[in-house]
Amino acid sequence: MKGLKILSALAFVAPLALLMPSFAASQERSDFQTVKAFEAQTKTVAASIDAVQTVQECADVALAIDRIQEEFTPSKGLLDKALYGEKFDERLSRLRFQLKLAQDKLGIIESQVTRIAELEEQVRALSGEVERLSGENLKLMGDVERLSGNIRTLGESNAVTGALVDSLKMVIGQLQKGIKERDQMIFALVDSLFQQYAKPVDQLADVEKRGLALRMDRNNIVTGVKTSIENNLKFLERAELKGSDLAAILQEHQRFSSQWKGLGPKLASLYLSNKQKAKELAVVDTLLAAWSAKARDAYWRGMNAAFSSKQIVVKPIASGNELVSNVTAYINERLTSERPGDEKLKEFNRFDALWQAEMTNGWLPLMESRGDLSADQRKLVEAKLQEWRESFEGTSPLTYAILFAVIVAILAALYVKMKKK
């Protein structure tokens, strides 16, 4: 009986999924093909109405009728003449009435169907957005490759222009934004799908679970998540990324991971009996682990690159402790070195500029948020920098005046004492 229900859900959703509008195709269709397609689609919908069992299925049918109307309205004139026994609008009204009867029979309220149909429309729009962004991101990745190649080639002959580097930076920025947007769309899409079922996944009936799983498949959710991670991984591998880019990617990774933590178990419960999907989910977990490892690597690589890009030779850092000890060692070395004052000041200024620009507002808050750096450790390293800063602050005229007054007082006291003798 249970098996039969699942089969009926499969038999229900699959044909409706084929009723997606294809405007390009419909423009090419002959009159005969248009009429044939309309007849076939309305026949499929009529059969689906006979099979509806859940509110989601009713919403699917309602949307399918809307899509048929949308797709065939341009051919209304032809259909009015060509349909035998009824007109275009009459056929659609008949289907809607048939659906209403089925809903009443199942005790389903119209507003529920409308709400789910709205969410499904949202899913459709988001799905289109994901597809659009995927295409754009792919193109941007190609642009990044091309520009990086140009820079590498021209770099050999020292002919890299500022404009070329700026172009690359701009494209990287666009790509980063595009990847982030696509990630957000995927999770928004998943939310819209889950919202159609007012219960947690483990409380859904089998037929509902099956329907939800089919909706997930129809929108390629698991593949979409995989693509998101793969794009992020590819982006992370770019050598041109600067500290600030990497910090943003790491934040994105944190956000994505926590969202997947919420979604992964729900999907696992949904695909409990589907070995193929369970495998795909495992692949997502593996990819996410790879992203974590790469992100962690990039995290420290990015921080070390921030120092090395300014020719500041701090020993490689791979933990909060090492940040404190290696930066402290570096500053101590500078404090005790026997070099001219001008050189030392220049070295400090270079370090301080980098610290303010990239560490104070970029890396340090990120390290703290990830638990890699405690507030005490931050205070320690900042105190060391302050010590270095103070080492360049000269003695004030007031100090000289006080010193002078003290010496004068001592001399005066000595003089008075000697005179007494």
Partner 1 sequence: MKASIALALLLLAGCSTLTLAPSDFAWPIMSELTADKNGNVKEERYHLSFNIKPLLFEELKDSVNVAGKSLSVIRDRQGFYYVTGPKFKKVYIFQHTTDGLGLSTSYEVQPAGLSNPEFEQRPPNIRLRSGRDSWLLTRHGVTTPPAPSGGAK
Residues in contact with partner 1 by the rule CB under 8 A: 27-28, 30-33, 35, 78, 81-82, 84
Name which of 48 and 75 has its Cβ closer to partner 1.
Answer: 75
Name which of 82 and 151 has its Cβ closer to partner 1.
Answer: 82
Q: How far is the CB of 86 from partner 1 (least distance, A)?
A: 13
Name which of 83 and 164 has its Cβ closer to partner 1.
Answer: 83
Structure tokens at 341: 């004052």
Q: How far is the CB of 30 from partner 1 (least distance, A)?
A: 5
DSSP 8-state secondary structure symbol assigned to residue 198? S
Name which of 29 and 266 has its Cβ closer to partner 1.
Answer: 29
Q: How far is the CB of 22 from partner 1 (least distance, A)?
A: 16
Name which of 75 and 103 has its Cβ closer to partner 1.
Answer: 75
Q: How far is the CB of 43 from partner 1 (least distance, A)?
A: 17
Q: How far is the CB of 94 from partner 1 (least distance, A)?
A: 19
- Cα separation, 185 vs 132, whole angstroms: 11
Question: 302 with 243: CB under 8 angstroms?
Answer: yes
Name which of 79 and 123 has its Cβ closer to partner 1.
Answer: 79
Structure tokens at 91: 């056929």
Name which of 10 and 78 has its Cβ closer to partner 1.
Answer: 78
- Nearest Cα to Cα of residue 182 among 213, 138, 145: 138
List Cα–Cα distances, 70 to 22, 39, 116, in angstroms.
10, 15, 19
- Nearest Cα to Cα of residue 17 among 61, 50, 56: 61
Q: How far is the CB of 50 from partner 1 (least distance, A)?
A: 25
Q: How far is the CB of 24 from partner 1 (least distance, A)?
A: 12
- Cα separation, 58 vs 108, whole angstroms: 9
Q: What are the counts of helices (DSSP H) followed by strands (DSSP E) for the chain?
A: 17, 0
- Nearest Cα to Cα of residue 68 among 24, 22, 102, 28: 22
Q: What is the DSSP string of 280-296?
A: HHHHHHHHHHHHHHHHH
Q: How far is the CB of 29 from partner 1 (least distance, A)?
A: 10
- Cα separation, 254 vs 367, whole angstroms: 12
Name which of 43 and 81 has its Cβ closer to partner 1.
Answer: 81
Question: Which residues, other chains included, contact 304 with Cβ-Cβ below 8 Å and sequence gap of 6+?
Answer: 314, 316, 317
- Cα separation, 395 vs 248, whole angstroms: 43
- Cα separation, 273 vs 271, whole angstroms: 6
Name which of 33 and 369 has its Cβ closer to partner 1.
Answer: 33
Q: How far is the CB of 39 from partner 1 (least distance, A)?
A: 11
Q: Mapping DSSP to helix (H, G, I), strand (E, B) and coil, where does residue 87 land?
A: coil
- Cα separation, 284 vs 252, whole angstroms: 16
